[in-house]
Chain A
Amino acid sequence: MRRREFLATATVSGAALAVGAPVFLRRAYAQNPIKIGLPTVLSGGNAQYGIQAKRASELFAKDIKGKGILGRPVEFIYEDTGADPATAVRKAQKLVEKDGVKFLTGTVLSSEALAVSAKCPEWKVILMSTINGAGALTAKSFNRYFFRVNTSGPMGARAVSLYLAEGPMKRLFALGSDYAWGRDSVASFSAQIEAAKKEVVGKEYPPVGTKDFASYIAKVRQSKAEGVYLVLVGQDATIFLKQAHQFGLTKDVKPIMEIVELENMKAVGDAMEGTIGSSRYPFTVDTPKNHAFVKRFHDMHGVYPDMFDGETYEGLEWLAQVIQKAGTADDVEKVIEAWEDSSYEGLEGPFFMRKCDHQAVQPGFAVQAVKDPKYPHLIPKILATFPGDKVTPKCRTEEFS
């Protein structure tokens, strides 16, 4: 038994050394890094979003290597929340209290962001959303430690509505995932479509994780709608589009998505061709800054950047610019003040951070999924670009003037 005990001890300490040494060395080398914590989803069905946040962070880390922010290196710490709001709060708390993180980002589900955001005033840390859609985050549930860099759900709904207002479709059906984002966006979409003198002929809220949409497809068909507005979380959207195609629904009813994502295009394939909707960041945006970004991203990861790759990268770059301007990464109050009413030139155009609700004003896009022989999958073709003031709601509301 003694020999075994010895072996066990030796193995454990060996492993500890192997794992521990580089951490120790890194600390000694870079004594005071700026830490950014990502309580994000890295496992299960929503992992694709966490992985996007992570990919963007990795590219950002590479891009600022050497110069850092305020001359300090940047360290990213990733935690897996499993898409559960309670776990998200626990992991965020660990990042804040144990790792000393002052900046949180990468929350995937709006329900997670709402839960984490509510704790930020107490922790005195910033939560920067680059993914979360629920309008409430910058309206009813707003607090000054929360910043939303990304296009919100209502803003996406707005871009689509503006596009549809000019089009021939009169009868629309709305289908939203049964949680904060889906319900918020369907409400916002309905209000605007009705304002444009069109009719919403039905609304349904399938539970997150629905694997059989046959009943919903039957309802959409029976409503005689010309288009169906989809606010379905990643995987659910893929499954809906696949099944709608198999049922032949998409021949008569045009799918319109609040977010047209590469993930869906890759998984659904050609059956998604022609689908229209909005995109928070279409990688096909024609700006020099974006072209360079897409190339760097593709070189590093071997794929084209999806919506949240772009939005997360923009968030990080803006945050770095703001910290630089504030001259501190430790005094969160100063960073908040520096961020309010500040401008930033993003990949997709100009951004402006409103002081009143910390929603970033930015361009909105209507896109269509099209084939292009240059790419291995469908790509979002930009149909219309709307300036920020057209697609951003009135301050601290989900309404548009």
Chain B
Amino acid sequence: MPHGGILVAISLLLEQLLNALALAGLLFLVSAGLSLVFGILRVVNFAHGVFYMLGAYLGFTVVALTGWFWPALVIVPPVVGLVGAVLESSTLRFIYRRLPIYQLLLTFGLALILEESIRVLYGPTAKGVDPPPLLQGSIPLGAIVYPRYRLFLVVLGLVVGAAVWLFLKRTRTGLVIRAVAQNAEMADCLGADVARVRTLVFGAACALAGLGGVAAAPMTTAYLGMGIGVIVDAFVVVVIGGLGSIPGSMAGSLIVGAAQTWGAYYLPETAMVIMYAVMGAILIFRPWGLFGEEE
């Protein structure tokens, strides 16, 4: 440490830790939905990142119209979820039985259509969103100051993660969803409305991505291409954590968040590679991911 002092050293480590946690919080909101959709619908959803982007742009719209950030955080996720549910029931529903390549093509097409629609509607300029007044500025932590908004992202990721996990484990609907994930045909025989469960899960996953987008907007602005950027990271998270597992998404987000922020800090020349190197290492020992189940 060039500027001495044990307090400084600890503060700098704390800053790195918080940086990783804040990024992990955002990544979790996106990857949780991607993981759920794969676990339950068996679809690799390329359009998932675009729902994140849609969330950010709608968040910008609500903030621009009302002047408030909090309503955006509440209104936008259900709206994005509704868009997702409508798209699932009008397109994806009809090709679950087809080869996976059809689903890839379809979701990729949806991603392109949505992204270009956003470009046509909002234009190419990135849209800045200010954090709510409560979360503006930074607070002192030891020898550093840290942006309040990033601390909020850490908390948001944790709260949403806990809520999703409890919902799946402790509620009746959660039980049905897990049943469909395990064996859709059997669940169907036992009276579960599989089509409805799928629409619900797809919508909920999109809502989570939308929430991630709203939450990301003050940090990254809403911009074209943000969906593509995030989906790559989210795939890595899901592969590391295990497809379909919520705790897996949490663990994966932490690992990718740490690999990206610490990589950029300590080994900048290899920052791009580290995330994939970690993924490769994990796949060698657990090809089904940290929390995934062997198939």
User: Of B19, B119, B218, B221, which is within 8 A of A43 by CB?
Assistant: B119
Question: Which chain B residues border A51 with CB–CB below 8 Å?
Answer: 124
- Mask of A195-224 contacts with B, CB within 8 angstroms, 1/0: 000000000111101111011101100101
**Pairwise interchain contact B124-A222, C-beta atoms closer than 8 A:** no
Interface size class of A (residues with CB under 8 A): 35 or more
User: Of A212, A238, A246, which is within 8 A of B126 by CB?
Assistant: A238
Q: For chain B residues 145-173, which have a beta carbon within 8 Å of chain A?
A: 145-147, 149-150
Bound Cα distance A266, B2 (Å): 38
- Mask of A217-250 contacts with B, CB within 8 angstroms, 1/0: 0110010100000000001001100110011100
Question: Which chain B residues border A266 with CB–CB below 8 Å?
Answer: 125-126, 128
A263 CB-CB contact with B under 8 Å = yes
**Pairwise interchain contact B138-A247, C-beta atoms closer than 8 A:** yes
B278 CB-CB contact with A under 8 Å = no
CB distance from B137 to the nearest CB of A (A): 7
B257 to A, closest residue via Cβ: A212
Bound Cα distance A247, B3 (Å): 20
A121 CB-CB contact with B under 8 Å = no
**Pairwise interchain contact A212-B260, C-beta atoms closer than 8 A:** yes
User: Of A216, A222, A267, which is within 8 A of B128 by CB?
Assistant: A267
Known: A222-B3, A247-B138. A204 touches B125 (CB 8 A): no
Most chain B CB atoms below 10 A, which of A210, A211, A248, A267: A211
**Pairwise interchain contact B265-A219, C-beta atoms closer than 8 A:** yes
CB distance from A43 to the nearest CB of B (A): 6
**Pairwise interchain contact B223-A248, C-beta atoms closer than 8 A:** no
A47 CB-CB contact with B under 8 Å = yes
Question: Which chain B residues border A204 with CB–CB below 8 Å?
Answer: 268
**Pairwise interchain contact B19-A214, C-beta atoms closer than 8 A:** yes
Bound Cα distance A44, B228 (Å): 9
B263 to A, closest residue via Cβ: A215
B18 to A, closest residue via Cβ: A214
B254 CB-CB contact with A under 8 Å = no
Question: Which chain A residues border B137 with CB–CB below 8 Å?
Answer: 248
**Pairwise interchain contact A222-B229, C-beta atoms closer than 8 A:** no
A321 CB-CB contact with B under 8 Å = no
B264 to A, closest residue via Cβ: A215
**Pairwise interchain contact A218-B19, C-beta atoms closer than 8 A:** yes
Bound Cα distance A206, B226 (Å): 16
Q: For chain A residues 117-161, which have a beta carbon within 8 Å of chain B?
A: none
CB distance from A348 to the nearest CB of B (A): 23
**Pairwise interchain contact B22-A222, C-beta atoms closer than 8 A:** no
A234 to B, closest residue via Cβ: B126
CB distance from B56 to the nearest CB of A (A): 11
A262 to B, closest residue via Cβ: B125
Bound Cα distance A211, B23 (Å): 9
Question: Which chain A residues border B131 with CB–CB below 8 Å?
Answer: 246
Bound Cα distance A263, B147 (Å): 25
CB distance from A245 to the nearest CB of B (A): 9
Question: Which chain A residues border B116 with CB–CB below 8 Å?
Answer: 43
User: Of A214, A215, A216, A239, which is within 8 A of B221 by CB?
Assistant: A239
A268 CB-CB contact with B under 8 Å = yes
Known: A215-B19, A242-B219, A248-B137. A47 touches B147 (CB 8 A): no
**Pairwise interchain contact A235-B126, C-beta atoms closer than 8 A:** yes
B91 CB-CB contact with A under 8 Å = no
CB distance from A65 to the nearest CB of B (A): 25
- Mask of A32-73 contacts with B, CB within 8 angstroms, 1/0: 000000000001111110010000000000000000000000
CB distance from A113 to the nearest CB of B (A): 20
Number of interface residues of B (CB under 8 A): 46
**Pairwise interchain contact B265-A215, C-beta atoms closer than 8 A:** yes
A349 CB-CB contact with B under 8 Å = no
A47 to B, closest residue via Cβ: B124
Question: Which chain B residues border A274 with CB–CB below 8 Å?
Answer: none
**Pairwise interchain contact A246-B147, C-beta atoms closer than 8 A:** yes
A206 to B, closest residue via Cβ: B264
A388 CB-CB contact with B under 8 Å = no
**Pairwise interchain contact B221-A207, C-beta atoms closer than 8 A:** no
B124 to A, closest residue via Cβ: A48
B16 CB-CB contact with A under 8 Å = yes
Question: Which chain A residues border B95 with CB–CB below 8 Å?
Answer: none
B253 CB-CB contact with A under 8 Å = no
Bound Cα distance A239, B221 (Å): 7
User: Of A48, A212, A268, which is within 8 A of B23 by CB?
Assistant: A212
B262 CB-CB contact with A under 8 Å = yes
**Pairwise interchain contact A248-B138, C-beta atoms closer than 8 A:** yes
B182 CB-CB contact with A under 8 Å = no
CB distance from B7 to the nearest CB of A (A): 14
**Pairwise interchain contact B125-A48, C-beta atoms closer than 8 A:** yes
Question: Which chain A residues border B226 with CB–CB below 8 Å?
Answer: 45, 211
Known: A215-B261, A218-B15, A246-B138. A44 touches B224 (CB 8 A): yes
Known: A47-B119, A214-B261. A209 touches B229 (CB 8 A): yes
B146 to A, closest residue via Cβ: A247
B88 CB-CB contact with A under 8 Å = no
User: Of A43, A219, A235, A246, which is within 8 A of B219 by CB?
Assistant: A246
**Pairwise interchain contact A216-B264, C-beta atoms closer than 8 A:** yes
**Pairwise interchain contact A242-B272, C-beta atoms closer than 8 A:** no
CB distance from A247 to the nearest CB of B (A): 6
- Mask of B123-143 contacts with A, CB within 8 angstroms, 1/0: 011111011000001100000
**Pairwise interchain contact A263-B138, C-beta atoms closer than 8 A:** no
Bound Cα distance A238, B218 (Å): 12
Bound Cα distance A175, B262 (Å): 17
User: Of A48, A222, A248, which is within 8 A of B12 by CB?
Assistant: A222
**Pairwise interchain contact A218-B16, C-beta atoms closer than 8 A:** yes
Most chain B CB atoms below 10 A, which of A218, A246, A263: A246
Nearest 3 Cβ contacts at the A-B interface: A45-B225, A215-B264, A48-B124
What are 9 inter-chain pairs, A to B, with CB distance below 8 A? A45-B225, A45-B229, A51-B124, A212-B23, A214-B23, A215-B19, A235-B224, A246-B150, A269-B130
Q: A215-B16, A268-B128 are in contact. List 15 more A-B contacts (CB 8 A).
A: A43-B116, A47-B119, A48-B224, A209-B225, A211-B229, A214-B23, A214-B261, A215-B261, A242-B219, A242-B220, A246-B147, A246-B150, A247-B138, A247-B145, A248-B145
